[in-house]
Amino acid sequence: MLTRFEHFAATSMLGSCDAPPRENGELAFANDWERRAFGLAVALSKAGYFEWEDFRQALIEEIHAWESTHALDDASWQYYERWLAALERVLLKSGLTAAL
């Protein structure tokens, strides 16, 4: 069961360009790391390390950057790779982690 924040985070993206993949109305994850990256972003935002909207904007920018350098039917597209890149960006900006 989702808490109010998790529900807000997931539904705030519905129908937008940054919406997570869904299958039968449920969030879809092809790999365990994707589920963990999703959960980590939600948990850190909920804990106040960054604003959810800041993460969403970083994700939109990551998706746009990928789309501007690839064909839209490029088979190398991986939504959660963009998710992870956005998460890394907001974590660096928040000072929670440093670049290696």
Domain ranges of the chain: 4-94
In our burial notation (b when 16+ CB lie closer than 10 A, e otherwise), range 62-81 reads bbeebeeeeeeeeeeeebbe
pLDDT tens column, 51-84: 999 999 999 999 999 999 998 888 888 999 999 9
Q: Report yes or no on whether pTM surpasses 0.85.
A: no
The rounded distance, in Å, linking the Cα atoms of 29 and 34 is 6
Tens of pLDDT, residue by residue over 9-55, are 666 666 667 778 888 878 888 999 999 999 999 999 999 999 999 99
Phi, psi dihedrals of residue 96, rounded to the nearest 5°: -70, -25
Q: Is 20 in contact with 38 (CB distance < 8 Å)?
A: yes
